[in-house]
Structure 1
Amino acid sequence: MKYLLLFLPMAAGLYPLAANVMKESYMTVMVNPPTSTVELLIYGNQCMDLSLKNQNFLGAIMSVPEPKPFQENWDVILLPFGSAQRSYCVFATVPVQWHFLISTYSDVANVGIRLEWDPFVAAY
């Protein structure tokens, strides 16, 4: 009986469920000129991680208006080859429709855009 009780915590530690889950993601690139705005309409989870990576040797000024009501606008200055990340969360049923409008004020920009979220199970 003692051996069984000692073995159960070790067996439970062998298979962590949350650590092996892969995140879903969507990637695109904004190159200005000709495009100074990228519009993304994504069906994702309740929390989304938005990453911006400057792929240019010049700095870029980026702007992301609120994707959902009551969230702040995000204005960020990306240094050459720098990156920035922000998480957005909302309490809603999944899948959640997210609308991101990412724009730049810079004359020349080459910015990689990546959205990541945990996969969800929709119950119908």
Structure 2
Amino acid sequence: MQWATAKAADPGVGYVWGGNGPTGYDCSGFIQNAFAQADIELPLNSKAQYAAASQYVSLDDLQVGDLVFWSNNGSASGIYHVAMYIGDGQIAHARNPQMGVAVTAVDYSPWNMMGTAARY
């Protein structure tokens, strides 16, 4: 989590489609690198990251390190974005080219947010 918040605060780190660091990430590359800091291997694809979870939890039960997903059809097959819960109602994620890598409220975009989070 410390790596994720540090990267989000670094103005030299931005969003790059398909990016996997060190100066640019897309959402799944950002998550993959954050988990690698804790020696946890995750796939480089948000759908595969969801599928790799050992447990799924309600958004009401989020813990630091849980992953939150957005889907265009409400199921795993439509996942298009992932973010990491960092506590206090906040997530760290690589948002888009305009917003870059950032910390935002977990409900910054409630549309299409999946009702379950992934825990590893």
Query: Shared fold (TM-score greater than 0.5)?
Result: no
Answer 1 or 2: which has greater strand percent.
1
The one of the two structures with greater contact order (alpha-carbon pairs below 8 A, sep at least 6) is 1
Report the TM range for the smaller structure's normalisation: under 0.3
Answer 1 or 2: which has greater helix percent.
2
